[in-house]
Homo-oligomer: A and B are copies of this chain.
Amino acid sequence: MVQEVIGEVLVRIRPNEEERAFIEGLMREIENIARGRAEELGLDIKPYFVGSLAKDTYLAGDHDVDLFMAFPLDTPLEELRGKGLELGKAIAERLDSYEVAYAEHPYVRARYKGVKVDIVPCYDVDSWKDVRTAVDRSILHTKWVLENLHGRNDDVRLLKRFLKGINAYGSEIYVRGFSGYLAEILIIKYGSFLDVLEKADFMLRQKIIDPAGWLKSEPEIAMKTIKREAEGDKPLIVIDPVDPRRNVAANLGWEKFGRFYFKAHQFLEEPLVEFFFPTESTGENYLGELRRKRTHLVTLLFKKPQLVDDLILPQLERSARGFEKALRRENFRVLGWDYGYVGEEAFIMLELDRIVREKITIKPGPEFFTERGWDFYRKNERVWLIGKRLYAEKRVKESIVDVIVELLEKNQVALGKQVREFIHSADILVDYVPGELKREAYLFLSRKKWNLKG
C-alpha cells in the first residue's frame, strides 16, 4: 500500500531519460562556455555545479542550474567581486538573457533554453576553515552529499516532494521550513524516506544530529554551536557535516517542523498521494466561513512593490502584525491574519470580531492632584475617579474603515519600510474580496492553510 503510493509518486517526480539527457547536455554546454570565457579573461577559476542538479536530487521539471565560479583562496575579496561579476556577464552573454542580482555579493541570473542559470563567484575552499563568504560552503555540501548518498537519490526526491506537499519546504526566512540540504542529510542519516518519517518524534527528542562526528573531532566548536542554537530554542540542531560552526536547521521553525511531525504520522497511518500533491480545494466559499464563524474579514489590497520575496514577504508579515497590535489597542480583536500577493496585487487580510465599535472609549488619565491631572480635568467633559486616577470618555470613530484610515494617517501602525507607502494607498475591503482572492480568503478564514488535519 505504502509502496504503491511511493511508486506512483516516484513516476511523477523522478526525471526521465529525456530530461536527464537534456540537463546533462545543458550542464556540459554551460561548463564549456564558462571555461572558454574564463580563459579569454585570463582567470584562474574552476567551475563547479552545485545544488540539486549537481547532486542528482532534483525533482522532475524543477531544474535550476547553479554554476559556481571558484577563485583561488589568495584572490582579494574586491577582485573576486569585480572579476566574478565580469566573468558572469561574459558567460551570460552567450546564454539567452540575464540580469544582475544581489546577495552578499552581486551575481548573474541568466536564462538558457528555458532554464534559470545562476552564475555565482566564490572561493575554492577545501575545508570549513577556508570559508570566507556565505556561498563558499555550497561546493563542500555538494561533495559531501555525493560521497554519502549512496544511491538514495529517490528517497531525497520523495522527502522533498512530501515537504513541499505539506507546505514545509524552503529555508527562506519567510518560510522557515526544511532546506534541500537538510532533507538530504536526513536521508543519509536515517536511511530512507519512510525511515525519516518514522523518526519524526525521535529526532525531535534527540534534538542533536551530528552526521560527520564533529562532537568527537571538534568538540569545543561543536558544543559552542549546540549551546547557541539551544538558547535560540530551535527544534533541531543538525551540525553541518562540512562546518561544525553551523546548524543546518537554523532556519527551521517550530511550525514547519510541527507540520512535518503530524503529517508524517498521518501518512504512516494512511498513505495517500495527496500528501505529495495536495488537491486544491475549490467550490468552497469564504462568505460561508464568515457566516459560520460570525466574524468579519477586512482586506487591504494594494499594488505589489517590485521587490523579491525575501524582502516583501517579511515586510508584509511585519505589517500584518502591526495591524493586529494597533487594532487591539482600538478594541477590535484580530482573530487571525494573512498576507501575500496574487499577480501584481498584494494583500493583508485580517479576521476581526466586529467591524463597528462603540462610539466612545474610556480614556485613563493621570493622578488627579497633579498639574496634568488638572489639565485632564479641564479638557474633558465627563471625568471621574477610579482610585487616584482620572478617567474620561473619548469620542472615537466607529467603523473599521475609518479607524484604519485614521491609524494610518497618524502613523500608528508598525509597517514594513518598503511596503509602507503602498499600504497607505490601499483599498480597504470589508467582508468582500475580488475573484482572484476568493481562494486565499477561504484558505485563511477556514484555517485550511495551516490546519494540521487539512
Contacts and interface: CB of A to CB of B under 8 A. Distances in A.
A438 interface: no
A224 interface: no
A261 B369 contact: yes
A29 to B, nearest CB: 45
Interface in A351-393: 353-354, 356-360, 362, 368-369, 377, 381-388, 390, 393
B447 A393 contact: yes
A333 B336 contact: no
A259 interface: yes
Copies of this chain, count? 2
A446 B254 CA distance: 50
Contacts of A293: 358-360, 393
Contacts of A235: 388
Interface in A327-362: 331, 333, 335-336, 353-354, 356-360, 362
A387 B254 contact: yes
Nearest to A368: B258
A372 to B, nearest CB: 15
A450 interface: yes
Interface residues of A, number: 47
Contact of A353 (B357, B383, B447): B357
B255 A387 contact: yes
Given A385-B259, A388-B254, A447-B393, A358 B369 contact: no
A386 B362 CA distance: 32
A335 B353 contact: no
Given A201-B369, A358-B294, A359-B292, A447 B384 contact: yes
A359 B294 contact: yes
Contacts of A388: 235, 254, 258
A321 to B, nearest CB: 12
A335 B362 contact: yes
Given A254-B385, A336-B362, A386-B255, A262 B450 contact: no
Contacts of A390: 452
Contacts of A253: 387
A204 B359 contact: no
A398 B292 CA distance: 12
Nearest to A354: B354
Those 5 A-B pairs whose CB atoms lie nearest each other, nearest first = A384-B450, A254-B388, A258-B385, A294-B359, A255-B385
